[in-house]
Amino acid sequence: SCLWLGHSEVVNSFETCPQFFYDGIPPNDVLNPRNPAWICQRFSNSYHYATLYDRDRRIPVYSAYRYEPVDGNRPRLWWFAEPQLIDPSYSKDMATETFIIKQYNITLQQIGQSQAIIRDYQNLQGLDRGPLCPSGHQSSDNSKMATFTLTNIVPQDSILLKGAWKEYENKTMPEKTQGCTTTYVITGAVPGNTYVSDNRVNRPSYIWSAACCLEDEEPTKAWGVIAENDKNEVKVSSLGELEKRLANLYNGKTINLFDDACPRE
């Protein structure tokens, strides 16, 4: 059915899909929210990226993926929700809200108890749906489609999303990944103090991204970027500088986004 095309899996860790983290090691627990969900985002019987989701704030903490862009049109399709965030006994398949309501005889309100729903992103002022794992960084039609789930997006400043952040994703990344055999990316959102949609969905204070570049199988360089979620400016830095900035935003606790082999300077 065109109403449910994908699969994802809510698990207790990323052991099911370690391939999206360099050396299979995800960020340390400092970023973990109070009520986390580890999601291995699977579509058409294969995994495409991994997401740590905050059930309480109804936004992803970060999405991790391998940077493998190919030319192609941005797909148009349904926005998916995650049945297993509603009930662990429900299907692992991503599904539309309409399908979930019919399949399990539940209400839209029940879907929205643990995750964002389409309605939360309608009629926003100055904000848009900002994907942490963008379709443009994926290698196939299926991979691109898999990014269109509400567990992968945050309320992002519209001007930033269409301006400096887009330039980073579409211009800076291709430049910085020249010569990289494999590039691992983790893109995240720092929770903010305000909410949208009747206080249902957190508006992040910052959007950030980190990358570790491997030539053959050895990490040779890494970098990070961060942007305030109300300004059209992206600051590029070393990976170490980004981790220090995030540490300050997370109560001074040490943050490791990648294995120590990825250069910090």
Q: What is this structure's pTM? A: 0.94
What pLDDT sits at residue 75?
65
User: Looking at the predicted structure, is the pLDDT value of residue 5 above 60?
Assistant: no
Average pLDDT over residues 207-233: 97
- The per-residue pLDDT for 3 is 40
Looking at residue 22, the DSSP 8-state letter turns out to be: G
> With 90 as the cut, is the pLDDT of residue 11 above it?
no
Of the CA atoms within 13 Å of residue 19, those in its CB half-sphere come to 11
More confident residue, 9 or 239: 239
Beta bridge partners of 81: 95
Q: Predicted confidence band at 9 (pLDDT cuts at 50, 70, 90)?
A: low
Which pLDDT tens digit goes with each residue over 71-97? Answer: 776 666 679 999 989 998 888 777 899
Q: How far, in Å, CA of 111 to CA of 140, rounded?
A: 29
Q: Give the CATH architecture of domain 9-250.
A: 3-Layer(aba) Sandwich (3.40)
Asked if residue 6 has pLDDT above 80, the reply is no
The band of 179, judged by pLDDT with boundaries at 50, 70 and 90, is very high
Q: How confident is the model at residue 245 (pLDDT cuts 50, 70, 90)?
A: very high
Residues 54-83 have a mean pLDDT of 88
| CA distances (Å), origin 51, targets 34, 101, 179, 229, 230 | 15, 24, 27, 20, 24
Split at pLDDT 50, 70, 90, the class of 2 is very low
pLDDT score for 142: 86
Q: Are 138 and 73 in contact (CB under 8 A)?
A: no
Look at residue 151 in the predicted model and tell me its pLDDT.
Answer: 96
41: amino acid identity, one letter: Q
Q: For the chain, what is the mean pLDDT?
A: 92
Is the pLDDT confidence value at 39 over 80?
Answer: yes
5-14, 52-61, 105-114, 181-190: the lowest-pLDDT one: 5-14
pLDDT in tens, 132-163: 999 999 988 888 988 999 999 999 999 999 99
Element (H or E) spanning 165, and its range? helix 164-167
Residues 186 and 148 sit within 8 Å (Cβ to Cβ)? no
Question: What are the strands, taking DSSP E only, across the chain?
Answer: 6-11, 36-43, 46-54, 59-66, 127-131, 153-157, 182-190, 194-196, 201-203, 206-215, 218-228, 235-237
Percent of the chain clearing pLDDT 90 (strictly above): 80
Per-residue model confidence (pLDDT) at position 38? 95
Say if residue 4's pLDDT is above 80. no
